Amino acid sequence: MRLQRTRRELHTRWWIPALATLALVLTACSTESGPENRQNPLRPKGEYAEKIDDLFGPVFWVSVVIGVLVVAATVLVAVKFRTRKGEDVRPKQTHGSTPLEIGWTILPAVILLAVAVPTVSTIFSLDEEPINPVEVTAVAKQWWWQFDYPRDDNGKKVVTANDMHIPVDRDVLVTLTACDESLPNTVGTETPGCNVLHSFWVPELAGKRDVVPGRENQLKIRADEEGVYVGQCAEYCGLSHANMKFRVIAQSESEYQAWLEAQRADAEVALDDSSDVEELFTAKFQCTNCHTSEDSSLSTYGPNLTHFASREVFASGYYELTRERLIEWLLDAPSLIPMQSDDCRLGSPGSVEGAICVGMPSFTKNPPEGADGQRFPAMKHEEAEILADYLLSLT
């Protein structure tokens, strides 16, 4: 009795795993990051992303039709020619059929050709020379992006992080590099100043392109509407890869030029030689080993902070820039970097020796060493506040 019921239950409860699967699939429709997650390649917001979408649509439907036909034919044949009760004869075996074989060779070839023609033509059209482009270099690091804007007449470039500003309705040619001569090598890479493999992707503005150490790739992007688009590293590059985001801020040409002008300008607040801030920033904690806050044309190990407060987000776009968050970050950044290795987070002596910590160090749990080889003392809350207020004045 008991056994029978269990079996019946098994038969009638098939919907439980089915429902669980459905629920899992539906999480993809989550609107948690707003009604539009701003990373939807099926909702292109620029000419080049549109071209890709125009290709994707027809190819998708061709695949759907073929998929449905193949599955339907398979099911039909399986049902129609199944062994019936009491029937125990081996079905008639057929070997070779010239018309069929010619047919199923030619048909797929024709379908592939039909897909290849628009595909290849789209590839060529996306590869056409950009017209009067704005040029930006994206330098991929673990796990954040640096953006370099070309030198002006005085030979000064602009170096910023996480927010990439572009004008609307204009081609932008992005040079993609994982190397920066001013930096030491990332462990495991051979080319000077190079980081590991990354990939640059702004789904609503263009296709993705790999950032390869020792090579310079280029990608054309374009936005047709003003707005903020969310980009993402699309090639696994270490533990916190999934959070290696950035924002593309598309503005009118005049707003863009004004932004660039402001970024070129000197720091809003100069470090005064005898101030508390100067003492903390350059002497006590030597933030200057990895950052600069006085020259927006320099590329450094960590993000250039000269106009830090002009950004709305920080830490690869993961956090909104608020005073509280910034203080937390200055005290113990590794704990705020998702997936940062435990060695870097805990800073427990012994486990840290030889551990590869990338990113901003913890100034409370695992303070870095100064030039004299001595570890800095743990940062006090008041010190973090002074530093945060200074950084927030750097508009």
Q: Which two tokens stand for residue 294?
A: 């006085």
Q: Are strands 172-177 and 163-167 parallel, antiparallel or unpaired?
A: unpaired
According to DSSP, the β-strands at 158-161 and 163-167 are unpaired
Between 161 and 172, CB nearer to ligand HEC: 161
Question: Which residues in the 148-187 window bind ligand HEC by CB under 6 A?
Answer: 161-162
Distance CA 313, CA 137 (A): 20
Burial of 37: CB neighbours in 10 Å, binned 0-12, 13-18, 19+: middle
Binding of ligand HEC by 269 (CB under 6 A): no
Could you tell which of ligand HEC, Cu ion, none binds residue 388, using a CB distance below 5 to 8 A set by kind?
A: none
Return the number of the residue (256 or 308) whose C-beta is nearest ligand HEC.
308
What residues from 160 to 219 belong to the interface with Cu ion (CB under 5 A)? 198
Given the rule CB under 5 A, which of 119-127, 228-236, 260-268, 286-294 is the region that contacts Cu ion? 228-236
**Alpha carbon 341 to chain centroid distance?**
19
What string marks each residue from 35 to 74 as x (binds ligand HEC by CB under 6 A) or -? ----------------------------------------
Q: Is 259 in the site for ligand HEC (CB under 6 A)?
A: no
- Give the Å distances, CA to CA, from 310 to 16, 73, 164, 244, 259: 51, 60, 12, 20, 9
Told to check if 145 binds ligand HEC by CB under 6 A, we report no
Instruction: Decide: helix, strand or coil at residue 51.
Output: helix
- The residues in 335-364 that bind ligand HEC, with binding defined as CB under 6 A, are 337, 359-361, 363
> Contact region for ligand HEC (CB under 6 A) — 83-91, 112-120, 166-174, 287-295?
287-295
Report how far residue 139's alpha carbon sits from residue 178's, in angstroms, rounded to the nearest whole number: 5
- Provide the minimum distance between the beta carbon of 233 and Cu ion in the complex, in angstroms, as a whole number: 3
* Whole-angstrom distance, CA of residue 394 vs CA of residue 160: 13
Q: In the beta sheet, which residues pair with residue 314?
A: 319
Name the site residues for ligand HEC (rule: CB under 6 A): 143-144, 161-162, 285, 287, 289-291, 301-303, 305, 308, 311, 314-316, 330, 337, 359-361, 363, 368, 387, 391
